[in-house]
Amino acid sequence: SGGFHDAGDHDKFGLPQGYSATILGLGYYEFKDAYVKTGQQEHFKKILDYFCDYFSRCTVYGDNGEAIAFCYQVGDGASHNYWMSAEDETFDRPAYFADSSTPATDQVSAAVSALAIHYMNFGNQDYLDCAKKLFAMAMKNDKAAQGSNGGAFYASSGWTDEYCVAAALLYKATQDSTYKSEFDKYKSGLNTYSWASWDGVDAYALAYGDGDMNA
Protein backbone atom coordinates (compact mmCIF):
# COMPACT_ATOMS: atom_id res chain seq x y z
CA SER A 1 0.00 0.00 0.00
CA GLY A 2 1.01 3.61 -0.47
CA GLY A 3 3.18 5.11 -3.15
CA PHE A 4 2.12 7.37 -5.99
CA HIS A 5 0.04 6.72 -9.08
CA ASP A 6 1.67 7.52 -12.39
CA ALA A 7 0.30 10.61 -14.18
CA GLY A 8 -3.32 9.87 -15.14
CA ASP A 9 -2.89 6.15 -14.55
CA HIS A 10 -3.58 4.22 -11.39
CA ASP A 11 -0.50 2.05 -11.65
CA LYS A 12 2.65 2.42 -9.58
CA PHE A 13 5.92 2.29 -11.51
CA GLY A 14 9.24 1.98 -9.73
CA LEU A 15 11.62 4.01 -11.87
CA PRO A 16 9.66 7.28 -12.02
CA GLN A 17 8.85 7.00 -8.31
CA GLY A 18 12.45 6.33 -7.34
CA TYR A 19 13.69 9.06 -9.66
CA SER A 20 11.18 11.62 -8.39
CA ALA A 21 11.95 10.92 -4.74
CA THR A 22 15.70 11.03 -5.35
CA ILE A 23 15.67 14.28 -7.30
CA LEU A 24 13.41 15.94 -4.77
CA GLY A 25 15.75 14.76 -2.03
CA LEU A 26 18.82 16.09 -3.82
CA GLY A 27 17.07 19.43 -4.31
CA TYR A 28 16.51 19.69 -0.58
CA TYR A 29 20.07 18.55 0.12
CA GLU A 30 21.51 21.27 -2.10
CA PHE A 31 19.05 24.08 -1.29
CA LYS A 32 17.82 23.37 2.22
CA ASP A 33 17.98 27.05 3.19
CA ALA A 34 15.32 27.89 0.61
CA TYR A 35 12.93 25.33 2.08
CA VAL A 36 13.59 26.58 5.59
CA LYS A 37 13.21 30.22 4.57
CA THR A 38 9.82 29.55 2.98
CA GLY A 39 8.63 27.28 5.78
CA GLN A 40 8.26 24.28 3.48
CA GLN A 41 10.53 21.77 5.19
CA GLU A 42 7.78 19.93 7.09
CA HIS A 43 5.59 19.73 4.00
CA PHE A 44 8.56 18.44 2.02
CA LYS A 45 9.42 15.85 4.67
CA LYS A 46 5.85 14.55 4.70
CA ILE A 47 5.96 13.93 0.95
CA LEU A 48 9.33 12.18 1.08
CA ASP A 49 8.27 10.13 4.11
CA TYR A 50 5.35 8.91 2.01
CA PHE A 51 7.71 7.84 -0.76
CA CYS A 52 10.16 6.13 1.57
CA ASP A 53 7.54 4.43 3.72
CA TYR A 54 6.25 2.86 0.51
CA PHE A 55 9.71 1.72 -0.59
CA SER A 56 10.20 0.21 2.86
CA ARG A 57 6.91 -1.68 2.64
CA CYS A 58 7.88 -2.95 -0.81
CA THR A 59 10.96 -4.65 0.66
CA VAL A 60 10.67 -8.35 1.51
CA TYR A 61 13.02 -9.80 4.12
CA GLY A 62 14.33 -13.31 4.65
CA ASP A 63 14.67 -15.25 7.88
CA ASN A 64 18.01 -13.63 8.67
CA GLY A 65 16.72 -10.10 8.10
CA GLU A 66 18.33 -9.69 4.70
CA ALA A 67 16.38 -8.19 1.78
CA ILE A 68 15.38 -10.94 -0.65
CA ALA A 69 12.85 -9.17 -2.89
CA PHE A 70 11.50 -5.75 -3.78
CA CYS A 71 8.13 -4.90 -5.31
CA TYR A 72 8.98 -2.40 -8.04
CA GLN A 73 5.65 -2.21 -9.90
CA VAL A 74 1.95 -2.57 -9.13
CA GLY A 75 -0.29 -2.73 -12.20
CA ASP A 76 0.55 -3.36 -15.84
CA GLY A 77 -0.79 -0.26 -17.57
CA ALA A 78 -4.40 -1.39 -18.03
CA SER A 79 -5.72 1.76 -16.38
CA HIS A 80 -3.95 3.85 -19.02
CA ASN A 81 -6.90 3.22 -21.33
CA TYR A 82 -9.53 4.52 -18.92
CA TRP A 83 -10.29 7.69 -17.00
CA MET A 84 -12.00 7.28 -13.67
CA SER A 85 -11.42 7.76 -9.97
CA ALA A 86 -9.18 5.25 -8.24
CA GLU A 87 -12.06 4.31 -5.92
CA ASP A 88 -14.14 3.13 -8.89
CA GLU A 89 -11.47 0.97 -10.52
CA THR A 90 -11.82 -2.79 -10.52
CA PHE A 91 -8.69 -3.73 -12.49
CA ASP A 92 -6.55 -6.58 -11.36
CA ARG A 93 -3.16 -5.19 -10.46
CA PRO A 94 -0.34 -7.70 -10.79
CA ALA A 95 2.71 -6.98 -8.66
CA TYR A 96 6.22 -7.33 -10.07
CA PHE A 97 9.15 -8.19 -7.84
CA ALA A 98 12.90 -7.94 -8.14
CA ASP A 99 14.64 -10.95 -6.64
CA SER A 100 17.55 -13.29 -7.38
CA SER A 101 15.90 -14.59 -10.55
CA THR A 102 14.69 -11.17 -11.77
CA PRO A 103 17.28 -8.72 -10.45
CA ALA A 104 15.79 -5.44 -11.78
CA THR A 105 18.93 -3.74 -10.47
CA ASP A 106 17.82 -0.35 -11.77
CA GLN A 107 14.51 -0.48 -9.90
CA VAL A 108 16.09 -1.54 -6.62
CA SER A 109 18.84 1.05 -6.94
CA ALA A 110 16.41 3.90 -7.59
CA ALA A 111 14.66 3.12 -4.30
CA VAL A 112 18.01 2.86 -2.50
CA SER A 113 18.97 6.34 -3.69
CA ALA A 114 15.70 7.82 -2.48
CA LEU A 115 16.02 6.18 0.92
CA ALA A 116 19.66 7.22 1.30
CA ILE A 117 19.20 10.88 0.43
CA HIS A 118 16.14 11.15 2.66
CA TYR A 119 18.21 9.75 5.52
CA MET A 120 20.90 12.33 4.79
CA ASN A 121 18.32 15.10 4.89
CA PHE A 122 16.32 14.07 7.97
CA GLY A 123 18.18 11.26 9.72
CA ASN A 124 15.66 8.41 9.88
CA GLN A 125 17.85 5.37 10.58
CA ASP A 126 15.16 2.94 9.41
CA TYR A 127 15.40 4.35 5.90
CA LEU A 128 19.17 3.99 5.84
CA ASP A 129 18.95 0.41 7.12
CA CYS A 130 16.45 -0.45 4.38
CA ALA A 131 18.66 1.20 1.75
CA LYS A 132 21.71 -0.76 2.87
CA LYS A 133 19.84 -4.07 2.82
CA LEU A 134 18.39 -3.42 -0.63
CA PHE A 135 21.80 -2.46 -1.98
CA ALA A 136 23.30 -5.61 -0.48
CA MET A 137 20.68 -7.58 -2.39
CA ALA A 138 21.54 -5.73 -5.60
CA MET A 139 25.26 -6.40 -5.03
CA LYS A 140 24.67 -10.09 -4.42
CA ASN A 141 22.32 -10.71 -7.35
CA ASP A 142 23.23 -10.73 -11.01
CA LYS A 143 22.88 -7.28 -12.55
CA ALA A 144 20.09 -6.62 -15.05
CA ALA A 145 17.70 -3.86 -16.05
CA GLN A 146 13.97 -4.31 -15.63
CA GLY A 147 13.47 -3.99 -19.39
CA SER A 148 9.90 -4.39 -20.62
CA ASN A 149 8.64 -6.69 -17.88
CA GLY A 150 5.27 -5.39 -16.77
CA GLY A 151 4.30 -3.86 -20.08
CA ALA A 152 5.66 -1.15 -22.33
CA PHE A 153 5.63 1.57 -19.68
CA TYR A 154 8.98 2.84 -18.40
CA ALA A 155 11.06 0.07 -19.92
CA SER A 156 14.58 0.71 -18.69
CA SER A 157 17.60 1.01 -20.97
CA GLY A 158 20.15 0.06 -18.33
CA TRP A 159 21.01 -0.34 -14.66
CA THR A 160 24.52 1.08 -14.25
CA ASP A 161 23.48 4.70 -13.73
CA GLU A 162 20.92 3.99 -10.98
CA TYR A 163 23.31 1.56 -9.31
CA CYS A 164 26.13 4.11 -9.28
CA VAL A 165 23.91 6.86 -7.86
CA ALA A 166 22.85 4.49 -5.08
CA ALA A 167 26.48 3.58 -4.33
CA ALA A 168 27.59 7.22 -4.33
CA LEU A 169 24.82 8.36 -1.99
CA LEU A 170 25.31 5.44 0.38
CA TYR A 171 29.00 6.27 0.54
CA LYS A 172 28.19 9.88 1.37
CA ALA A 173 25.74 8.73 4.02
CA THR A 174 27.98 6.13 5.68
CA GLN A 175 31.60 6.64 4.54
CA ASP A 176 31.71 2.85 4.09
CA SER A 177 34.34 2.20 1.41
CA THR A 178 32.37 -0.78 0.13
CA TYR A 179 30.03 1.61 -1.64
CA LYS A 180 32.87 3.64 -3.14
CA SER A 181 34.39 0.42 -4.46
CA GLU A 182 31.09 -0.47 -6.14
CA PHE A 183 30.88 2.97 -7.70
CA ASP A 184 34.45 2.75 -8.98
CA LYS A 185 33.81 -0.74 -10.36
CA TYR A 186 31.00 0.38 -12.66
CA LYS A 187 31.53 4.11 -13.28
CA SER A 188 33.20 3.49 -16.65
CA GLY A 189 29.77 2.57 -17.98
CA LEU A 190 28.35 6.03 -17.25
CA ASN A 191 27.60 8.47 -20.05
CA THR A 192 29.01 11.91 -19.25
CA TYR A 193 26.72 13.57 -21.80
CA SER A 194 23.47 11.87 -20.82
CA TRP A 195 20.57 14.20 -20.00
CA ALA A 196 18.74 13.66 -16.74
CA SER A 197 15.50 11.68 -16.82
CA TRP A 198 13.79 8.79 -15.08
CA ASP A 199 15.82 6.52 -17.38
CA GLY A 200 19.10 8.39 -17.25
CA VAL A 201 20.77 9.50 -14.03
CA ASP A 202 24.38 9.23 -15.22
CA ALA A 203 24.97 12.92 -14.53
CA TYR A 204 23.90 12.58 -10.90
CA ALA A 205 26.09 9.52 -10.47
CA LEU A 206 29.12 11.42 -11.73
CA ALA A 207 28.30 14.55 -9.72
CA TYR A 208 27.89 12.73 -6.43
CA GLY A 209 30.41 10.03 -7.21
CA ASP A 210 33.56 11.29 -8.88
CA GLY A 211 32.71 14.96 -8.51
CA ASP A 212 31.53 15.01 -4.91
CA MET A 213 32.54 11.72 -3.31
CA ASN A 214 34.50 13.34 -0.50
CA ALA A 215 32.24 16.34 0.15
8 Å CB contact between 199 and 156: yes
Which residue has better confidence, 77 or 30? 30
Q: Which pLDDT tens digit goes with each residue over 146-164?
A: 865 666 688 888 999 999 9
pTM reported for the whole predicted model = 0.94
> What is d(CA 67, CA 73) in angstroms, rounded to the nearest whole number?
17
Q: What letters, b where the CB count within 10 A reaches 16 and e where it falls short, cover 139-177? A: eebebebbeebbbebbebebbbbbbbbbbbbbbbbbeee
pLDDT of residue 80: 79
72 phi and psi angles, rounded to 5 deg: -100, -10
The count of residues in the chain is: 215
Q: Give residue-wise pLDDT tens across range 33-60.
A: 999 999 999 999 999 999 999 999 999 9
Distance (Å, whole) CA 160 – CA 154 = 16
